[in-house]
Amino acid sequence: MNTRLAPVLRPMREDDIAGVLAVQSLAYGPGFLEDEATIRARWQAAPHTAWVAVDELQVCAYLVAYPSRLGKVTLLHGGFDVPAQADCLYLHDLAVSPRAAGRGLAPALLQVAWQAAARLGLGWSALVSVQGSQGFWLRHGYAEPAGLDAAQRERLASYPGGAASYMVRRLDLPGAAPHLL
């Protein structure tokens, strides 16, 4: 008999940051790890677009996002610059602890984020795919658009490994192909 409780999804709180750091350390390679000050600053910049999944042990998954502009790549280790005229929800970091893998937490967090984007009037979602995760994002309706300018390609190069991809998803038409930027 399985006595594990289903994880609860809720907005991230300041006291979740230690748990987020713990999950991050299990999910990402050393070049991708971001420090507590960076994570705290991001949460403070956009607390209404950060969520965690919590089970009987602690934070077991999280998603940190912020309102942004389509075609603007966030630097790794950079701050969130929330524009007045946002048109997309930028998913900066989605991670699931290995102990919670296979429980559907990543798709559940995506649904929460997309609902928040709709409430904010944002028609797009964007992200940088790293560590070979492009297949996951493709399965969830994201695709690489054409037309990133040189400055944004340079920002993309801030991610280690050379295989980072900027991907977008139109939210108002599920599964719609992204337009050229």
Confidence tier at 147 by pLDDT (50, 70, 90): confident
Number of domain units in the chain: 1
Gap between the Cα atoms of 10 and 16, Å rounded: 11
CATH number of domain containing 153:
3.40.630.30
- Give the pLDDT confidence of 12-21 residue by residue, as tens digits: 999 999 999 9
177 has pLDDT over 50: no
Do β-strands 59-68 and 124-129 pair in parallel, antiparallel, or remain unpaired? unpaired
- Output the pTM of the full model: 0.89
Q: Are 130 and 159 in contact (CB under 8 A)?
A: yes
Domain span at residue 146 reads: 8-170
Q: What is the pLDDT of residue 3?
A: 53
Residues contacting residue 136 through CB under 8 Å, at least 6 positions apart = 106, 129
- Residue 109 within any structural domain of the chain: yes
Q: By C-alpha distance, which of 64, 55, 60, 74 is closest to 12?
A: 64
Q: Burial letters for 23-53: b for 16+ Cβ neighbours within 10 Å, e otherwise?
A: bbeebeeeebebeeeebeebbebbeebbbbb
Residue 1 has pLDDT above 50, yes or no: no
* Residue 96 pLDDT: 96
Whether residue 138 is predicted with pLDDT greater than 70 in this model: the reply is yes
